[in-house]
């Protein structure tokens, strides 16, 4: 059995009420971690862990939650910046030569606020505690669309590409403090959102994935655990695509 070095370590997972975040919180709990699960929605605490209602767009909410985790357990070892939302829409939509719609400021700002600035806000609050504790691992949720773009997702792609940029900056800045910073870029993952899509759309996703299936939330959770573990001790500033080959299959 591989020793991940994660037993009894303190882990914060944002967006942990459902989907990839919930699977990630459960996976770290299986490693014996003390998991603080964060979400704006109600959620579950993992065995030996806690659930905190936290708004990642609010610096005050994030700071209070970080301080509470540190006061309860001490050293913070891992932060998984998973929280994210979708507000899809075309930049400009024309129908029969007439402007029929456009992405609104609200659509753009909401996604940037959660998916990009939320990552910044949470990391900024956690890093001083990691430095005091001698290091740690920050894991950021990007997406394959952040690498290659996607139709109808100007806001989401901008945020996920920005996350990759911040990951690389922080890997440079924080390495001297023994803090590793990496990103995971999921492909098509069988979250509740995808399961609610029409069967035809789901099959199209499978058709674009060389491995012949969509991923499971646990596939992403396993990647996070690996990147947080001792097995990845010399990996920082990386973007790990977990997509079943979807990029090469499109």
Cα distance between residue 24 and residue 139, in whole Å: 11
Whole-number Å distance between alpha carbons of 117 and 125: 12
Per-residue pLDDT, 197: 67
In a domain, 5, yes or no: no
Whether residue 104 lies inside any domain: the answer is: yes
What is the domain-level CATH number for residue 76? 3.40.50.720
Query: What's the pLDDT at 1?
Result: 62
**Residues spanned by the domain of 146:** 10-249
Q: How far is CA 215 from the centre of its chain?
A: 15
Low-confidence ranges of the chain (pLDDT < 50): 249-250
Q: Is 140 part of any domain?
A: yes
pLDDT at 70: 98
CA atoms lying within 13 Å on the CB side of residue 62: 24
Q: Which token pair is 211?
A: 């491995």
**How much is the pLDDT for 246?**
85
Q: What digits encode the pLDDT tens for the residues 129-169?
A: 999 999 999 999 999 999 998 889 999 999 999 999 999 99
Q: With CA atoms as reference, report the closest residue to 240 among 86, 225, 3.
A: 225
Question: Do the domain assignments include residue 1?
Answer: no
Task: Report the pLDDT value the prediction gives residue 248, as an integer from 0 to 100.
Answer: 56
What are 226's two structure tokens?
Answer: 């690996």
Reply yes or no on whether 224 is catalytic: no
Catalytic position from the list 94, 148, 156, 224: 156
* Distance, CA of 57 to CA of 101 (rounded, Å): 27
Residue 3 lies in a domain: no
226 lies in some domain = yes
Q: What is the pLDDT of residue 15?
A: 98
Determine, yes or no, domain membership for 230.
Answer: yes
How many folded domains does the chain comprise?
Answer: 1
**4: in domain:** no
**What is the DSSP pairing of strand 34-39 with strand 50-53?**
parallel
What per-residue confidence (pLDDT) applies to 247? 67
- CB atoms near residue 60 (< 10 Å): 9
């Amino acid at each position: 059995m591989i020793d991940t070095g994660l037993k009894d370590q303190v882990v914060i997972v944002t967006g942990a009420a459902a989907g990839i975040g919930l699977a990630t919180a459960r996976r770290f709990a299986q490693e014996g971690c003390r998991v603080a699960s964060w979400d704006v929605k109600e959620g579950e605490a993992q065995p030996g862990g806690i659930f905190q209602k936290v708004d990642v767009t609010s610096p005050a909410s994030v700071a209070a939650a970080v301080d509470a985790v540190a006061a309860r357990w001490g050293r913070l070892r891992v932060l998984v910046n998973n929280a994210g939302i979708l507000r899809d829409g075309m930049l400009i939509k024309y129908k029969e030569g007439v402007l029929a719609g456009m992405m609104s400021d609200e659509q753009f700002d909401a996604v940037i606020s959660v998916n990009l600035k939320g990552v910044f806000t949470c990391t900024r609050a956690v890093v001083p505690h990691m430095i005091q504790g001698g290091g740690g691992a920050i894991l950021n949720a990007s997406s394959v669309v952040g690498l290659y773009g996607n139709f109808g997702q100007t806001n989401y792609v901008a945020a996920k590409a920005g996350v990759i940029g911040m990951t690389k900056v922080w890997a440079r800045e924080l390495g001297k403090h023994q803090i590793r910073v990496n990103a995971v870029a999921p492909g098509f993952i069988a979250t509740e959102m995808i399961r609610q899509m029409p069967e035809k759309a789901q099959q199209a996703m499978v058709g674009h994935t060389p491995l012949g299936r969509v991923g499971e939330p646990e596939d992403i959770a396993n990647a996070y655990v690996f990147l947080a573990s001792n097995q990845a001790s010399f990996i920082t500033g990386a973007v790990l695509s977990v997509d079943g080959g979807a990029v090469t299959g499109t």
